[in-house]
């Protein structure tokens, strides 16, 4: 089925990326099959994800009725069954909502023309150097009749889209800096100005693709077969692959062996789960006993916020940005800066004053009808999704853990819940997990397989994907909250 999809895609989009961008290292030139003159692509890598062994992932053909229906919908909507879908299908309930939202955003009635939508998707994904999403949407962009010239960089796109670049940048890396002046600049630019409805559509798209980029890196999604880096034309027997295949896949196929220091024994990691559950139980019980003072609570938030800054992987291995289209959109000078690190004081965002359920939803639904509902459902499903299992344990109430993850991400963005004791985060999330969360949410392009493997070693892959869903939805909500608050402030 996947091969069929790829063939279909190549047929419908004759200007495939490989043609457009050329695989320079491997000659770029057609490497014709002697007999028919047709080059047959062969999949590279193993399965949809580089982190998750292929055998763990559901095989197409062995899905149940619900999943099958989802696949059918996805295929009908996109004309393909992409690797993201194949990984997300661990959680069919969420996937359904995700696909519905994405389909609506990209293909249904909306204020922006179709090629703009894909172009914005490209812009957003390129912020995180996510070649996977960029390639997908380059195809779609050309397919809906977008001008190939735009792909040479943002400066070739209409002024209107160029104006969006700044918002894209801030939103992706430091959303707390968005002010109503940003919004005003977009809405009042004479002939290049955005309408409010268009802007909300664009903001939703940007946040959607920022967080989707997080997912792509967080789960190590492999390139699609028809995209650059997703295939090879070499016969399978040839062992030495060309260099561009590796760089385009972000990280080489062969990961470094797991650090010996972190290579803890199985029994250790077994205790890890036990310890986590014990902590949850303790928190549940003794919450009523020791009541922290108000000052204590406030400082816990600050501590967590500050600590989150220093949580960073030590191995900052630089990845060579050799990524075709995305390099045209990159502005590497602007990246994630920790919330209020350099003495620049940004007031804490209080959820009780501006929350998605009450305020964000109303605004989105007013300006871009139905989408508020769809996103709301998606947030709800992601936040409440649980199978009451933890690794090998069953019937566990994981709400506390999920809330800790969600609030930790919002904490990194400076969003505070008055009714949450941030001490819980320290109890429940260990350092390697925090490193992973922080990297996926803030600088997804730096995620490595080692990071993915080093947290929650005993947990199943489906649970790690579940964590990723929480991460991307929390991130999307955080970005949306800041952007929508700025829009609200502009409107009042």
Partner 1 sequence: MEKMSRVTTALGGSVLTGRTMHCHLDAPANAISVCRDAAQVVVAGRSIFKIYAIEEEQFVEKLNLRVGRKPSLNLSCADVVWHQMDENLLATAATNGVVVTWNLGRPSRNKQDQLFTEHKRTVNKVCFHPTEAHVLLSGSQDGFMKCFDLRRKDSVSTFSGQSESVRDVQFSIRDYFTFASTFENGNVQLWDIRRPDRCERMFTAHNGPVFCCDWHPEDRGWLATGGRDKMVKVWDMTTHRAKEMHCVQTIASVARVKWRPECRHHLATCSMMVDHNIYVWDVRRPFVPAAMFEEHRDVTTGIAWRHPHDPSFLLSGSKDSSLCQHLFRDASQPVERANPEGLCYGLFGDLAFAAKESLVAAESGRKPYTGDRRHPIFFKRKLDPAEPFAGLASSALSVFETEPGGGGMRWFVDTAERYALAGRPLAELCDHNAKVARELGRNQVAQTWTMLRIIYCSPGLVPTANLNHSVGKGGSCGLPLMNSFNLKDMAPGLGSEARLDRSKGDARSDTVLLDSSATLITNEDNEETEGSDVPADYLLGDVEGEEDELYLLDPEHAHPEEPECVLPQEAFPLRHEIVDTPPGPEHLQDKADSPHVSGSEADVASLAPVDSCFSLLSVSHALYDSRLPPDFFSVLVRDMLHFYAEQGDVQMAVSVLIILGERVRKDIDEQTQEHWYTSYIDLLQRFRLWNVSNEVVKLSTSRAVSCLNQASTTLHVNCSHCKRPMSSRGWVCDRCHRCASMCAVCHHVVKGLFVWCQGCSHGGHLQHIMKWLEGSSHCPAGCGHLCEYS
Active site amino acids: 130
Query: Is 158 near partner 1 (CB under 8 A)?
Result: no
Contacts of 235 (CB under 8 A, 6+ apart): 42
Taking the complex as a whole, the smallest distance from the CB of residue 460 to partner 1 amounts, in Å, to 25
State which H helix or E strand residue 42 sits in. strand 42-43
Q: Cβ closer to partner 1: 177 or 292?
A: 292
Does position 424 interact with partner 1 (CB under 8 A)? The reply is: no
CB of 308 to partner 1, least distance (A): 21
Cα pseudo-dihedral 476, 479, 482, 487, rounded to 10? -80
Show the 3-state SS of 50-105.
CCCCHHHCCCCCCCCHHHHHHHHHHHHHHCCCCHHHHHHCCCHHHHHHHHHHHHHH
Q: What are phi and psi of 443, to 5 degrees?
A: -135, 70
188 vs 350, which CB is nearer to partner 1? 350
Q: Maximum CA pair distance of the chain? A: 79
Interface with partner 1 includes 291 (CB under 8 A)?
yes
Give the nearer residue to partner 1 in terms of CB position, either 109 or 316: 109
Nearest to 338 by CA among 371, 373, 310, 316: 310
- Buried b / exposed e over 425-451, threshold 16 CB at 10 Å, is bbebbeebbbbbbbbbbbbbbbbbbbb
Min dist CB 71 to partner 1, Å, is: 11
Are 476 and 101 in contact, with CB atoms under 8 Å apart? no
Hunting for tokens 């997804």 — which residue is that? 444
Does 298 contact partner 1 by CB under 8 A? yes
Radius of gyration of the chain (CA): 22
Question: If binding is defined by CB under 8 A, does position 281 make contact with partner 1?
Answer: no
The stretch near partner 1 (CB under 8 A) out of 42-50, 87-95, 357-365, 458-466 is: 357-365
Decide: 192 and 158 in contact? Cβ < 8 Å.
yes
Q: How far apart are CA 47 and CA 181, in angstroms?
A: 45
Does residue 362 touch partner 1 according to CB under 8 A? yes
Q: Could you say whether residue 359 binds partner 1 (CB under 8 A)?
A: yes
Instruction: Determine, following the binding rule CB under 8 A, whether residue 240 of this chain makes contact with partner 1.
Output: no
x/- binding map, residues 374-393, to partner 1, per CB under 8 A?
--x-----------------
Q: How far is the CB of 73 from partner 1 (least distance, A)?
A: 8
- Minimum distance, C-beta of residue 387 to partner 1, in the bound complex (Å): 16
352 makes contact with partner 1 (CB under 8 A): yes
Residue in 192, 287, 341, 431 binding partner 1, rule: CB under 8 A: 287
Span near partner 1 by CB under 8 A; candidates 177-185, 263-271, 353-361, 459-467: 353-361
Choose, by CB under 8 A, the member of 281, 358, 388, 431 that binds partner 1.
358
For residue 388, the minimal CB distance to partner 1 (Å) is: 14
Residue from 292, 266, 262, 314 nearest 427 by CA: 292
**Cα angle vertex 82, ends 432, 10, to 5°?**
140
- Under the binding rule (CB under 8 A), the answer on residue 64 touching partner 1 is no
Task: For the segment 67-86, give every residue that binds partner 1 (CB under 8 A).
Answer: 69, 72-73
Kindly provide the residue ranges of all beta strands, DSSP E only, lying in 333-409, ordered along the sequence.
Answer: 349-350, 389-390, 393-394
| Choice between 221 and 364, CB closer to partner 1 | 364
Interface residue with partner 1 among 33, 64, 315, 357 (CB under 8 A) is 357
Query: Based on CB atoms, which residue is closest to partner 1, 197 or 297?
Result: 297
Task: Specify the stretch interacting with partner 1 by CB under 8 A; choose among 41-49, 53-61, 215-223, 292-300.
Answer: 292-300
Provide, rounded to whole angstroms, the least separation between the CB of residue 285 and partner 1.
13
Residue closer to partner 1, measured from CB, 315 or 358: 358
Nearer to partner 1 (CB atom), residue 172 or residue 364: 364
Closest CA to 220 of 189, 244, 198, 252: 252
Size of the site for partner 1 (CB under 8 A): 27
Quote the least distance from Cβ 228 to partner 1, whole Å: 30
397 is an interface residue for partner 1 by CB under 8 A: no
Q: How far apart are CA 110 and CA 144, in angstroms?
A: 15
Rank residues 109 and 190 by Cβ distance to partner 1 and give the closer one: 109
Residue 109 touching partner 1 (CB under 8 A) = yes
Options 29-37, 87-95, 222-230, 289-297: segment touching partner 1 (CB under 8 A): 289-297
In the complex with partner 1, the residue whose CB is nearer, 104 or 436, is 104
List phi, psi (to 5°) of 394. Answer: -115, 165
Helix (H) or strand (E) holding 232: strand 231-232
Distance CA 427, CA 406 (A): 15
For the chain, the distance separating the N- and C-terminal CA atoms, rounded to the nearest angstrom, is 52
Tokens of 364: 């989105």
Q: How many of the other CB atoms lie within 10 Å of CB of 120?
A: 26
Contact 304, 425 (CB under 8 A): yes
Q: Give residues in contact with partner 1 (CB under 8 A).
A: 69, 72-73, 109, 287, 291, 294-295, 297-298, 350, 352-353, 357-359, 361-363, 366, 373, 376, 418-419, 488, 491-492
């Amino acid at each position: 089925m996947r091969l069929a999809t790829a063939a279909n895609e190549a047929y419908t989009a004759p200007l495939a990326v490989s043609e457009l961008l050329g695989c320079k290292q491997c000659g770029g030139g057609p490497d014709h099959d002697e007999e028919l003159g047709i080059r047959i692509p062969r999949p590279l890598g193993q399965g949809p994800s580089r982190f998750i062994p292929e055998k763990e992932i559901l095989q197409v053909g062995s899905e149940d009725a619900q999943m099958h229906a989802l696949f059918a919908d996805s295929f009908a909507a996109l004309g393909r069954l992409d690797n993201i879908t194949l990984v997300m299908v661990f959680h069919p309930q969420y996937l359904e909502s995700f696909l519905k939202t994405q389909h609506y955003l990209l293909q249904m009635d909306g204020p922006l023309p179709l090629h703009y939508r894909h172009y914005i998707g490209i812009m957003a994904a390129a912020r995180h150097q996510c070649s996977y999403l960029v390639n997908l949407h380059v195809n779609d962009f050309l397919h809906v009749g977008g001008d190939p010239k735009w792909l040479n960089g943002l400066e070739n796109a209409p002024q209107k889209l160029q104006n969006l670049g700044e918002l894209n940048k801030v939103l992706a890396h430091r959303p707390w800096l968005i002010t109503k002046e940003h919004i005003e600049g977009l809405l009042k630019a004479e002939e290049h100005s955005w309408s409010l409805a268009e802007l909300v559509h664009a903001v939703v798209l940007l946040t959607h693709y920022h967080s989707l980029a997080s997912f792509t890196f967080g789960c190590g999604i492999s390139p699609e077969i028809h995209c650059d880096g997703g295939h090879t034309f070499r016969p399978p027997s040839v062992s030495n692959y060309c260099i561009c295949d590796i760089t385009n896949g972000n990280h080489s196929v062969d990961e470094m062996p797991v650090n010996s220091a972190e290579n803890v024994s199985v029994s250790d990691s077994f205790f890890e789960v036990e310890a986590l559950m014990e902590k949850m139980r303790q928190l549940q019980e003794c919450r009523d006993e020791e009541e922290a003072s108000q000052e204590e609570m406030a400082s816990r938030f600050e501590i967590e916020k500050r600590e989150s800054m220093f949580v960073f992987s030590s191995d900052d291995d630089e990845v060579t940005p050799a990524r075709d289209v995305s390099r045209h959109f990159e502005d590497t000078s602007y990246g994630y800066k920790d919330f209020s690190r350099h003495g620049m004081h940004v007031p804490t965002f209080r959820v009780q004053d501006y929350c998605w359920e009450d305020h964000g939803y109303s605004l989105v639904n007013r300006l871009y009808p139905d989408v508020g509902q769809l996103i709301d459902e998606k947030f709800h499903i992601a936040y409440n999704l649980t199978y009451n299992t933890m690794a090998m344990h069953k019937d566990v109430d994981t709400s506390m853990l999920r809330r800790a993850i969600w609030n930790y991400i919002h904490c990194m963005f400076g969003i505070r819940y008055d009714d949450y004791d941030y001490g819980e985060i320290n109890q429940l999330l260990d350092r390697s997990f925090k490193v992973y969360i922080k990297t996926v949410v803030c600088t997804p392009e730096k995620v490595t397989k080692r990071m993915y493997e080093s947290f929650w070693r005993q947990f199943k892959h489906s649970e790690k994907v579940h964590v990723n869903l929480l991460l991307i939805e929390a991130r999307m909500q955080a970005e949306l909250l800041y952007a929508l608050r700025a829009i609200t402030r502009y409107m009042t």
